[in-house]
Chains A and B, each alone.
Chain A
Amino acid sequence: MAGLIDWLTTPQTIFVLGVTMLIFLALQISAAVMVYAERKVAAFMQQRYGPYLVGPKGLLQPVADIVKLIFKEELKPKAADTLLFSAAPIISAIAAFTAFAPVPIGPATTLGGWLPEPMSPVIADINVAVLVIFAVTSMGVYGIVLAGWASNSKYALLGGLRSSAQMISYELAYGMALATIVMLAGSLSLREIVDNQAGYWFGVIPRWHIFAMFPTGLIAFLIFGTAGVAETNRAPFDFPEAEQELVAGYHTEYSSMRFALFFLAEYINMVTVAAVVTNLFLGGWHGPLLPESWGIVWFLVKLSVLCFIYLWLRWTLPRLRYDQLMAFGWKLLLPAATVNLLVSAAGVLYFGL
């Protein structure tokens, strides 16, 4: 018992627990912020005001939304499968939170000498981090598919089926683009991949993977970003919930907090994909001007820009047709990703990177 207390009070343990709590809270808050940002950005693009009544500039609107969701009645269709109907939103939310666990958010730090050796601010510093993220995000599809099936409703089932087909199709291109970067960096650990992007080429171009071995890095970035939008089921790939065709898709029958969990999972997934793209392609916490120890600022700036692009896409592009989605994924994205992978493999061999 004394050993346990000793272990719990070492600076390292406190640091990891602190980072875990911080990221957990930050993810929840980021979901609320994203809801507000989405409504404001949508309003701006459609020349409206958006939410402006609750709090200054409508800033407290997410709080009002959450209160509304908590106090709504929890409905369940009579013919639904009770166990899976309740489990589906929980699976979605757990997968969304877990996917962030191996993502480092800043450079290794000793917190001003408090820690005996520098530690990376990450929940779990795994040496196969990239693959873990890939595995956990692919678990998220179960939440959606089971929600569709357990609701015992036509629209929900169609939404769930579409979602599984879409996620399987885009996972391939996603994985290929990921493999390209793993090869350029020569590591599966996100911390090492980010450290590989420190410094400059010719003193001006940052050594980010997006600029690496032009144009393969850029192509991998575009493919990864597109597949990432599809993986998170965001417009223009929001087929699982296509409102005009499927009412609300997989969450047609959900209300109250169960619905809120799906919503939470969607926004957290967006933030996770943005964080992963930042780390893989945009140099993570490396950037000019600021000193190295302020890296988290650069990380957050890049993350916010990517999140804004997500919203921008949604309110600019119309939804694809279902056959266009499949043709785009299989006939354009996957072959392009494969060729890109082969070219960069040849490049890595030739230049001996």
Chain B
Amino acid sequence: MAFDQLLFYGFASVAVLGGLLVIGQRNPIYSVLAIIVSFFGLSGLYILLEAPFVAVVQIIIYAGAIMVLFLFVVMLLNVPREDAAEWDRTHPFYRPWPMRIGGVLAAAMIVQLIWAFSRTAGLVQGVGDQRPAVSAVSELGRKLFTDYMFAFEVTSILIIIAMVGAVVLARKREF
């Protein structure tokens, strides 16, 4: 097996196992840490795809900023370990109808994934062969501000709306 492939399976299993651990155990702090581990696996995959910029940005934004906020909130609320029996009895998702709908949605997603994979030609190539179109940072910036200008600007407006919304929701109502 080529070294590239070995690395791919290593990073991929880190990412998947981290993802499973997020939902596989009941301590919220450990969930947050597991998702960070998963992000590191993903970042390794980006490096294999020769996109070091995306890999580092993945760490800075998700692992470095967003997950710190998650951890902050979990610690501030000091959420205790989830009580499994209590959870099973009271949680609204455990009623029959939500469970059925959830099952249908999960099945739909699996069908969709299989459909998408079966139609993607690039999957049969090895990891090392899929060179990305853009890898240099300047090239990425140029693409963002020419070809994808509209999507880029719309995304920034969306983020600003979300920020303003968060501020409005968080402030005390004095009017």
Q: Which residues of chain A have a CB within 8 Å of any CB of chain B?
A: 81, 84, 126-128, 131-132, 134-135, 138-139, 141-142, 145-146, 148-149, 157, 160-161, 164-165, 167-168, 171, 188
Asked if B60 and A134 make an inter-chain contact with CB atoms under 8 angstroms apart, the answer reads yes
Q: How far is the CB of B140 from chain A (nearest CB, A)?
A: 11
How many angstroms between the C-alpha atoms of A293 and B60 in the bound complex? 35
Which of B29, B56, B63, B69 is in CB contact (< 8 Å) with A131?
A: B56
Question: Which residue of chain B is the closest to A141 with respect to CB atoms?
Answer: B68
**A164/B60 contact (C-beta < 8 A), A149-B29, A149-B75 known:** no
Which of B36, B56, B75, B137 is in CB contact (< 8 Å) with A160?
A: B75
> Taking the complex as formed, is B49 at the interface, i.e. its CB lies under 8 A from any CB of chain A?
no
Which of B29, B56, B76 is in CB contact (< 8 Å) with A132?
A: B56
> Taking the complex as formed, is B16 at the interface, i.e. its CB lies under 8 A from any CB of chain A?
no
How many angstroms between the C-alpha atoms of A54 and B68 in the bound complex? 43
Interface of A is mostly: helix
> Taking the complex as formed, is B57 at the interface, i.e. its CB lies under 8 A from any CB of chain A?
yes
> Taking the complex as formed, is B64 at the interface, i.e. its CB lies under 8 A from any CB of chain A?
yes
Chain A residues in 8 Å Cβ range of B76: 161
Q: How far is the CB of A250 from chain B (nearest CB, A)?
A: 12
How many angstroms between the C-alpha atoms of A81 and B27 in the bound complex? 11
Per the 8 Å Cβ criterion, residues 27-86 of B in contact with A are: 29, 33, 36, 52-53, 56-57, 59-60, 63-65, 68-69, 71-72, 75-76, 78
Per the 8 Å Cβ criterion, residues 157-174 of B in contact with A are: none
Per the 8 Å Cβ criterion, residues 100-144 of B in contact with A are: 137
How many angstroms between the C-alpha atoms of A135 and B64 in the bound complex? 7
Chain A residues in 8 Å Cβ range of B29: 81, 84, 146, 149
Asked if B68 and A128 make an inter-chain contact with CB atoms under 8 angstroms apart, the answer reads no
How many angstroms between the C-alpha atoms of A142 and B74 in the bound complex? 13
Asked if A161 and B137 make an inter-chain contact with CB atoms under 8 angstroms apart, the answer reads no
Q: Which residues of chain B have a CB within 8 Å of any CB of chain A?
A: 29, 33, 36, 52-53, 56-57, 59-60, 63-65, 68-69, 71-72, 75-76, 78, 137
**A138/B53 contact (C-beta < 8 A), A157-B75, A161-B72 known:** no
**A128/B65 contact (C-beta < 8 A), A84-B29, A145-B71, A164-B72 known:** no
Asked if A131 and B53 make an inter-chain contact with CB atoms under 8 angstroms apart, the answer reads yes
How many angstroms between the C-alpha atoms of A81 and B75 in the bound complex? 13
Asked if B64 and A139 make an inter-chain contact with CB atoms under 8 angstroms apart, the answer reads yes
How many angstroms between the C-alpha atoms of A138 and B65 in the bound complex? 8
Which of A132, A145, A167, A171 is in CB contact (< 8 Å) with B75?
A: A145
How many angstroms between the C-alpha atoms of A309 and B57 in the bound complex? 31
Q: What would be 29 A-B contacts, judged by CB atoms less than 8 Å apart? A: A81-B29, A84-B33, A126-B52, A128-B137, A131-B60, A132-B56, A134-B56, A135-B56, A135-B59, A135-B60, A135-B63, A138-B63, A139-B63, A139-B64, A141-B68, A142-B36, A142-B68, A145-B71, A145-B72, A145-B75, A146-B33, A149-B29, A149-B75, A157-B78, A164-B68, A165-B72, A168-B65, A168-B68, A171-B64
Interface of B is mostly: helix
Chain B residues in 8 Å Cβ range of A134: 56, 60, 64
Chain B residues in 8 Å Cβ range of A146: 29, 33
How many angstroms between the C-alpha atoms of A135 and B72 in the bound complex? 18
Asked if B68 and A145 make an inter-chain contact with CB atoms under 8 angstroms apart, the answer reads yes
Further contacts, 15 of them, CB under 8 A, given A135-B59, A145-B75, A160-B75? A81-B29, A128-B137, A131-B60, A132-B56, A134-B60, A138-B68, A139-B63, A141-B64, A142-B36, A142-B68, A142-B71, A145-B72, A146-B29, A157-B75, A188-B137
**A164/B71 contact (C-beta < 8 A), A138-B64, A139-B63, A139-B64 known:** yes
How many angstroms between the C-alpha atoms of A134 and B137 in the bound complex? 16
The 5 closest A-B pairs by CB, nearest first: A138-B64, A135-B59, A131-B56, A135-B60, A164-B72
Question: Which residue of chain B is the closest to A188 with respect to CB atoms?
Answer: B137
Question: Which residue of chain A is the closest to B71 with respect to CB atoms?
Answer: A145
B69, B78, B137 interface centre (most CB from chain A within 10 Å): B137
Asked if A167 and B52 make an inter-chain contact with CB atoms under 8 angstroms apart, the answer reads no
Chain A residues in 8 Å Cβ range of B33: 84, 146
Q: How far is the CB of A142 from chain B (nearest CB, A)?
A: 8
How many angstroms between the C-alpha atoms of A117 and B110 in the bound complex? 53
Q: How far is the CB of A75 from chain B (nearest CB, A)?
A: 22
Chain A residues in 8 Å Cβ range of B137: 128, 188
How many angstroms between the C-alpha atoms of A260 and B53 in the bound complex? 34
Chain B residues in 8 Å Cβ range of A168: 65, 68-69, 72
Question: Which residue of chain A is the closest to B74 with respect to CB atoms?
Answer: A149
**A128/B56 contact (C-beta < 8 A), A84-B29, A188-B137 known:** yes
Chain A residues in 8 Å Cβ range of B57: 131
